[in-house]
A = this chain, B = another copy of it.
Amino acid sequence: MKTYQPITPEIIDKLKAITGPSYVKTDRDILLQYQTDYETNPAMFRVPEAAVLPANAEEISQIVKLANEYDFPITVRGGGTSLAAGAIPVCGGLVLSMERLNKIIELNEEGMYMTVEAGVRTIDMQNEAKKVGLLYAGDPSSAESCLIGGNLATNAGGLRAVRYGVTRDQVYSLEIVTPTGDIVECGRILKKCSTGYDLEQLIIGSEGTLGIITKVTVKLIPLPPYRIDVLAIYTDPKKALYMVPKLLKAGVDPTSVEYMDNSYVRDTADYCQYSDMPHYEDGIYVIITVETFREDELDAKMDTVCTICEESGAVEVLEADDRIWNMRRNVQTSCEMISKVFLTDDVVVPVHKIASTIEKIMEIGENYPFQVKINAHIGDGNLHIVLCKMDMSDGEWNKNVEEFHQQVYAYAYSVGGRLAGEHGIGAKKLKYMEQFTPQGELKVMKTIKRAMDPNLILNPGKVIDA
């Protein structure tokens, strides 16, 4: 990896001239806030040399040009909710926080779109759309904390992707500051476009390595007024998993299909202090959400869903209440009860391979001393494996995790899967990216990175080793 120049007092002065002195941080106490994101392992932390809080794209453009001139790296920080060490400044240098770019610029009801600065919280966009009867369909689990720019940078997925797709599918256009400091708008508010290269889709999911996203225009769609959440409880994971393809072909167009294994059912019920959850001891929960524009359509689709679940071997099929979603939303935090250090992984496979993949992972896990827990967006083939360190030594933990990952990733790739469905590669999976990505594909990615960012200024040490 490249070695950069240190951030000197001269550079600090120039940064202060760009943003005003109060928006450039050099105090160690403050910089400690930027040493990690959702990463819990202190071995991964790194304190930046400075942090800057610009107000707009013009300031960011000047900062990026300065970085090219003085050869220091920039790590962009959104909400700091990365589970892939995406916001950690692994090469030192400058952290650039997007928190001040927090304005909703326009909500256009007639045109059904919303334009925001990249530092707006996802939940604020969801709420703003809801006020006028529209839906912003992007919905990562971290919606209350994450920022829309980060959603785009990682192509965040989340809970509604079965019906509405991922963040990539919600975006009309975006403004970036390129790695050399130009301000460029990519895309327009168009439903069809065949006018040159699709730069917006290239930027989305590039995790800040090809440009700093400063402004975003997203699609809004009519908000379906009717909704039902079904909880199908299984005691045999195979039966739960093999139900999915039938559900997806039945024309009910579910919004969410979520899976929590029994360890999660117990842990999240305990965490939420719900004492009477059905099949607490042996249940696997599958939550299915359906939304419609008419009540009779909802009834009909609910009947179809219930029939499919019953016929596939569910031991109980209920209407799910708020508690179920609360449990689902707390899968991550419930792990903190069990283990101070735990590792959340994110793998994606073709939907029709998820059953065999989960079986395989549990089988691999049996050879290791840690607890393996699985929750999954089974409607889109995306699963999260949590490993709990408990009281294992650092050495034992690292060795076991590495071995376990090698086997899981090798299996995922063998069935056409990939390293990350929604968390991104960040710094955490860079070495696996280099190992598992076919050489030709990696070569094209590096060719593009080097051409667009010749000095490797933006987010070095992430995604690929350019």
Contact = CB atoms under 8 A, between A and B. Distances in A.
A395 interface: no
Contact of A183 (B157, B195, B300, B440): B440
A190 B444 contact: no
A93 interface: no
A353 B190 CA distance: 10
Interface stretch (A6-14, A48-56, A64-72, A289-297): A289-297
Interface stretch (A118-126, A328-336, A448-456): A448-456
> Taking the full assembly, how many copies of this chain does it contain?
2
A352 interface: yes
Interface in A168-208: 168-169, 178, 182-186, 188-199, 201-202, 204-206
Contact of A421 (B190, B206, B250, B420): B190
A214 interface: no
A157 B195 CA distance: 12
Q: Which of A165, A350, A442 has the most CB of B within 10 A?
A: A350
A111 B352 CA distance: 5
Contact of A445 (B165, B199, B445): B199
Given A198-B168, A251-B293, A382-B192, A451 B447 contact: yes
Contacts of A184: 438, 440-441, 443-444
Contact of A202 (B157, B201, B300): B201
Contacts of A447: 451-452
Interface stretch (A33-41, A99-107, A397-405, A422-430): A422-430
Interface stretch (A18-26, A270-278, A411-419): A411-419
Given A110-B245, A224-B251, A448 B445 contact: no
Contact of A192 (B108, B161, B442, B451): B161
A185 B438 contact: yes
A407 interface: no
Contacts of A352: 108, 110-112
A202 B191 contact: no
A417 B188 contact: yes
Interface string A120-163: 00000000000000000000000000000000001111000110
A190 B349 contact: yes
A247 to B, nearest CB: 11
Contact of A425 (B195, B251, B423): B195
Interface residues of A, number: 90
Contacts of A185: 438, 440-441
A112 B380 CA distance: 12
A324 interface: no
A216 interface: no
A320 interface: no
A423 B192 CA distance: 10
Contact of A424 (B154, B194, B222, B382): B194
Contact of A417 (B186, B190, B351): B190
A442 B440 CA distance: 26
5 closest A-B pairs by CB: A451-B451, A251-B293, A201-B201, A191-B380, A184-B440
Given A161-B192, A183-B440, A444-B452, 11 more contacts: A157-B192, A185-B438, A189-B350, A192-B381, A194-B422, A195-B420, A196-B433, A196-B445, A196-B463, A224-B251, A451-B451
10 contacts: A111-B353, A154-B194, A157-B192, A185-B440, A188-B350, A193-B420, A194-B425, A195-B425, A222-B250, A297-B300
